[in-house]
Amino acid sequence: MTKIAFLTDQHISLTQDNPFLIDTKGNFLALWNHVKNQNFDAVFFGGDFCYEKGDKEVYQWFFDHLATAPFPCYLIPGNHDDSVLMSSVFKGYHVDNDYEMYYKKVIHDIPFIFLDTSKGHMGESQWLWLTKELEKTNDTRMYIVMHHPPVLAGSTHMDSLYAFKETDRFIKLARAHKDKLITVFSGHYHLDRMVTFENISLFITPSSYINIDPDAPGFAILKTQKTGYREMVWKDGLFYTNVVSVL
């Protein structure tokens, strides 16, 4: 059995209060203390560690807490992050000539592709790398971790203003590999949602900060959404996933 947690969109600031008077550091630490005791094989972080923009001190704060984990942690940046600053704090990560941080990791024989969509799109080098990774594998199920959902997800506010800028290109690439089921884990939309589109299965994980009402015409906090993380389990040929509410 392989058991992995996915946490995303913490939006931490060490110097300013957020406009909704939410204890973002306390929310994350409560979540983190819970996750550390769940016997995970690994934990993925889906980006937006920082409140508004990349902050080296925030990354160091996260590094210090993640160093206490009994399992490996794998990170990607979000649109409120800085890939270069992240790679300077979290050793072992590198950026390419487009200043993007992406890589592949195999956990218990399961390959995961980690993408950098912090700019809202991906550079040509990253697209070429992703295309080659899809072409060279014989796996019929591909797992991708990225901050932005690669397809629209039915959130009025997020789809209209903050969607991934290259959804058409991602869909075209997926269609070129119809023999593969492409499973994507993302954050960014601040809600719990599953979306299926052709051979793409998308699982969006809620934020530990605030979550957004997908049906509101503008920005509105989804007050019924609890703070949590996504649990992903591979066991006896099955894959299943759900959001675990902690706060």
pLDDT at 224: 80
With a cut of 90, say whether residue 58 has pLDDT above it.
yes
- The CATH number assigned to the domain with range 2-245 reads 3.60.21.10
Q: Give the H or E element holding residue 134.
A: helix 124-136
Q: 157 with 219: CB under 8 angstroms?
A: yes
Q: What per-residue confidence (pLDDT) applies to 181?
A: 97
Task: Name 239's bridge partners.
Answer: 234
Show the tokens assigned to 6: 């996915």
Mean pLDDT, rounded, for 148-156: 98
In angstroms, the CA 70 to CA 37 distance is: 9
pLDDT digit string, tens, across residues 192-243: 999 999 999 999 999 999 999 999 999 999 988 778 999 999 999 999 999 9
18-50 pLDDT tens trace: 778 888 999 999 999 999 999 999 999 999 999
* Gap between the Cα atoms of 202 and 230, Å rounded: 13
Query: Could you tell me which of 49, 117, 57 has the C-alpha nearest to residue 89?
Result: 57
Q: Which amino acid is at 132?
A: K
- Write out the two tokens for 75: 């990170």
**pLDDT at position 100, please?**
98
- What is the per-residue pLDDT for 227? 82
pTM of the model: 0.97
Reading phi first (left if > 0) and then psi (alpha if -120 to 50, else beta), residue 49 is in alpha
Confidence band of 60 (pLDDT split at 50, 70, 90) = very high
